[in-house]
Amino acid sequence: MGKRIDWDRVKELVDTIKGQGLKLSEGAEKFGIPVWQLYELNRRHKGGEASRDKIWGEAEVSEKRSQADPGSKGLKGSPLPKEVQDLIVKYRKEDPGAGFKRIEDRLKGEHLVVVNRKQIRHVLKIHGLLEDHDSSFDRSERDIKGSRRFEAGYAGELYQMDVTYVYLTGIPVLYLVVIVDDFSRFCVGAELCFDQKGETLIGVLHNACIRHGKPVKLLTDQGSGFYTWSARQTLFQRYLDDHKIEHIVSDPHSPQTQGKVERLIQTIKRECLSRVRFKSYSEAALGIADYIRGYNFGRPHQGIKGFRPADRFYGVVGERSRIEAELAGKEVDFSKGYCILKVQDHCVSVVSSSEGIVVLVDGKLLQEVADERLH
């Protein structure tokens, strides 16, 4: 028989919690009451049910308690381990604009922990950390109706490049030039410049090519620094011809063509330039460089299934299926986890097998490779 809930007592606690200026989640922890009871009382009050002498049936109370069993691991109200809940709370506080999907990707990418978005939402609700942008359910991602998405087939096939105005307090007008790899979303170049002349744009592209390789194609808009309709080529176009880079110019009536680089520019402005008050050009340039490093190597990207841009750009993700197929016949147990990394042109795999943990280089046991080199 389910225990009856004293809703009058719950209401007294709610009044006390509000009187002390606490959030419901904080009050629930302080007074040792399941937080769902406080939320339910609020719901009934808003719906005009607070005055009714109505309690949940035994089955409903049992179901709610199973979701917030004080004896379960972790904080009250969630079956997730406390360590996982702490990570979810930490990620939200670090970046309040991060949605459920980004938190899900960070848990999987940084800690190999798989938690669905409904569980993440539940934890955030318990801690009073839901934001206006959060959905009330685990909504699947869908492309905008009628839009056509395209993506390069491999890293380095296509770079997207764009330039935008940047206004920083106390600093003259600057231009942010950004270059992103279409396939991996890896940012190969992001520099603050004092103008958008052809020579300046060439310098940014040249630096990107030296650091990360030359693309087969480059996509830009029809800005005067990139392109001209006249028979005479711009300096930028001549540079591309000299380096045998195919120039693709976007249609001004199809702004979504450069969606990846434009989205990154908006993200840099929102998450970097608008949050920090830079005192000088050099300070702003260093701030952008630090942000790009985190974006490339530490941040899961929803457009590439939660992988980091560096994962795709350096080839490990793209070769994962092939590597797994090569190892399939070697009595490898993938269920126990494995690690794949690239060293120069070689693929190194650390896996579990019937003989314990083994290391393979290009699909061969490390000892076999060593023996071959000795002979």
Q: What is the pLDDT of residues 144-172, one digit of tens each?
A: 444 445 788 888 899 999 999 988 877 87
Determine the pLDDT at residue 12. Answer: 81
Tokens of 73: 């691991």
Residue 137 lies in a domain: no
Contact by Cβ (8 Å): 243, 250:
no
For residue 223, the 8-state DSSP code is -
Q: Are residues 280 and 344 in the same domain?
A: no
Last residue of one domain, picked from the residues 311, 335, 355: 311
CB count within 10 Å of CB 368 equals 12
Residue 135 lies in a domain: no
Which residue matches tokens 């056509």?
148
Residue 19 lies in a domain: yes
* CATH number of domain containing 265: 3.30.420.10
What would the mean pLDDT of 180-206 be, rounded to a whole number?
94
| Overall pTM > 0.85 | no
Structural domain for 357, as ranges: 320-374
| pLDDT band, residue 116 (cuts 50/70/90) | confident
Judge residue 291's burial from the number of C-beta atoms within 10 Å of its C-beta, 0-12 exposed, 13-18 middle, 19 or more buried. buried
Q: Are residues 170 and 78 in the same domain?
A: no
pLDDT digits (tens, 9 = 90+) for 61-100: 444 444 444 443 444 567 788 888 888 888 888 877 777 8
Residue 266 lies in a domain: yes
Q: How many domains does the chain have?
A: 3
Residue 231 lies in a domain: yes
Q: Are residues 306 and 335 in the same domain?
A: no
Q: Are residues 179 and 54 in the same domain?
A: no
